[in-house]
Amino acid sequence: MYSRYGRHYNRSVLKRRGTSVENARISGWQFFLLSLNFIVGTAFFVRPGSIIAVSKQDGWIVPLIAGIFAVLIACLWLTLASRNPGLSIVQICTKVAGKYFGGFIALLYIWFFIQLAGWVTRNLGDFMKTILMPRTPISVFHLMFLIVVCYAVIKGVETIARTIEFLAPLVVLIVVVIYLFTLSEWKWERFEPMFQVSTWQLIKDSLPVIGFPYMEAVTLMMLVPYVKSRVKTGLLLGITVATLLISGIVFVTIGVLGVTRTSHFAYPLYIIVQELQIAEFIEHVESTIVIVWLIWIFIKLCISYHCAVTGICQLFRVSDRTWIAIPLVLFISGIAILTHENIVDNIAVDTRYIFQYTSLYGIVLPVLLLFLTWIRRFRKGESGGSA
């Protein structure tokens, strides 16, 4: 039977419910790495410029405020998971809200996972076409990356988790080296004047950051049934470390480039590494940060893609996820092309609507599902007492 957060499960029970079973288990450490890399993902490169453009020298405070709210929201998700142990967010929908209404909510989540995969794919295409290969059609980058991700998803979540364990030390090493070498260009004068933005304004500026990347992490609730133990620790610690990393890169970006220059760049971290000079003869080491960027995009895309495939299999009782994963390559590539016209349009939509949109999946629907769970338990307790 199920235990708290799905640490143990009975496969026969899952099959009777019509759920596709993936014979995989991941550790709490692997879940922590999944959470950390999923949240940092594209935000590490895309977020600093938009944060600094709005909050100026106090931009490094914005991720800290967003991270505090994210921890509170994650506690809501964990409470929902503990009340429905061993079930993913899609399975919880159909269990507590019924076949039809719950199925509709589950479809909304599946669409969100697919849309998230499309956003991540488009971020990859924009970066590659804008910075590295401007003459190559953007769909080429989409298809090349999605084919590799599709193969990883077919292999399963355990394979993805082991891949992250292998790649994580390389990513950490590159990021730490970049931090250290940028200190030579550091100037404290670029932080003046500091603490000019009011607390209320900083909270308002943190709303888009709460929406992206933090509330996107509701996707990780699809992976909870696979985790052996320490789900709560893995998720909350992943959010905390990701918050420190994002705040740290914003802090470094202000100190190295300054507010004015950063506000005009879509990828300020790439500019920092591009201008970095080591020992007066090693230049143009931006290929290292491109490697980090591709690894983080691969991880986030794998997780969102896997959750979309798993959600479809669980909702429609499909036993072989291969036939779901392969067609999604073309579907997600199409969504990525239609998502927005260019980077400017993407930034505008992100600033105005991302918090409101992701709140539906990160706050509104989890609260509704938790409320329905309590009603279901209350009715069950009443019927048991009367019997």
Q: Are 56 and 196 in contact (CB under 8 A)?
A: yes
Which token pair is 112? 């969100």
Residue 13 has pLDDT above 60, yes or no: no
pLDDT tens figures, 128-146? 888 888 888 989 999 999 9
Tokens for 349? 């939509």
- Model-wide pTM > 0.95: no
Per-residue confidence (pLDDT) for residue 11, from 0 to 100: 42
Please report, for residues 112, 225, 267, 310, 336, the alpha-carbon distance to residue 81 in angstroms, rounded to integers and kept in the order given.
Answer: 19, 9, 36, 17, 31
Lookup result for tokens 């499909």: 318
* pLDDT more than 90, % of the chain: 56
Question: Using CA atoms, how far apart are residues 48 and 331, in angstroms rounded to an integer?
Answer: 30
pLDDT in the model for residue 77: 96
Give the three-class secondary structure for 101.
helix
Q: What's the CA gap between 67 and 280, in Å, rounded?
A: 38
The neighbour count for residue 293, using CB atoms within 10 Å, is 24
| CATH numbers and ranges of domains, the chain | 24-371 (1.20.1740.10)
* pLDDT of amino acid 279: 59
| More confident of the two residues 175 and 35 | 35
pLDDT tens digit sequence for 186-219:
888 888 888 888 889 999 999 999 999 999 999 9
Higher per-residue confidence, 387 vs 228: 228
